[in-house]
Structure 1
Amino acid sequence: MEELKLNLDARNQGAFVVTENGEQLGEMALAITGDEMIVYHTEVVPQAEGRGLAKQLLNAMVSYAKANHLKVIPLCPYVHAQFKRHPQDFEDIWKKNEDE
């Protein structure tokens, strides 16, 4: 069974990580500064693709952002695509740039 957790260093940089039996299957790299969370990259190892792990990482990040009143800057192409596809689900946390 997969385990999902947030690992942050002293500078609030890190990732949501999903593991199974001690093996890392995916991560969502991010940094938190003040009331903003910048999401840089989401990656799932090839042998774990198709299991919905990226969606689990996305859901964990969104829950964390909402619980901590953070605005998300989605630099990660996957997160940005999900925000654009379902704006009503992320309106309260999405920090849009001027051209969105």
Structure 2
Amino acid sequence: MDDIELADNPTRHRFELRQGGEVAAFSEYNELKGALLFTHTEVLPAHEGKGLGSRLIAFALDEVRRRGLQAIPACPFVAAYIRKHPEYLDLVAERSRRAFLK
């Protein structure tokens, strides 16, 4: 899996994971003041079951942190990822964090 590239594609409002030069997964977002609202994540069928979606979301959330923004996980995949990885919980607005606690 060394041929994986992760990047923000701001023109298309999404983070992308490319494998072999082709998009294998993406997570769409809307840019808000001080936050990214994640709306949809998709792993293309040929790439399912390889952990690529999780790798993509970790990258996207690391970018949110690096930029000093908050994450609004309207996308069920992103929300589930945050539930499983509480180290990203601080990126969610404090008033919404209890929805992500087990």
Q: TM-score, normalised by structure 2?
A: 0.82
Q: How does 1:11-90 map to 2 (within 5 A)?
A: 14-87=13-86, 89-90=87-88
Query: Percent identity between the aligned chains?
Result: 27
CA distance in 1: counterparts of 2:43 and 2:57, whole angstroms: 12
Which residue of structure 2 lines up, in the alignment, with residue 7 of structure 1? 9
Number of equivalenced pairs: 96
2:93 counterpart of 1:91:
no
Return the letter of the residue paired with 1:69.
G
Q: Deviations over 1:16-75 (max 9, x none)?
A: 111122221110101221211100111101111111111111111111111111111101
Structure 2: gaps (5+ residues): none
Contact 2:30/2:37 (<8 A) preserved: yes
* Counterpart residue type for residue 75 of structure 2: C
Distance 1:92 1:99 in 2: 11
Aligned Cα root-mean-square deviation (Å): 1.8
Alignment check: 8 A CA contact 2:13 2:28 kept = yes
Q: Which has the higher helix share?
A: 2
Distance 1:29 1:2 in 2: 19
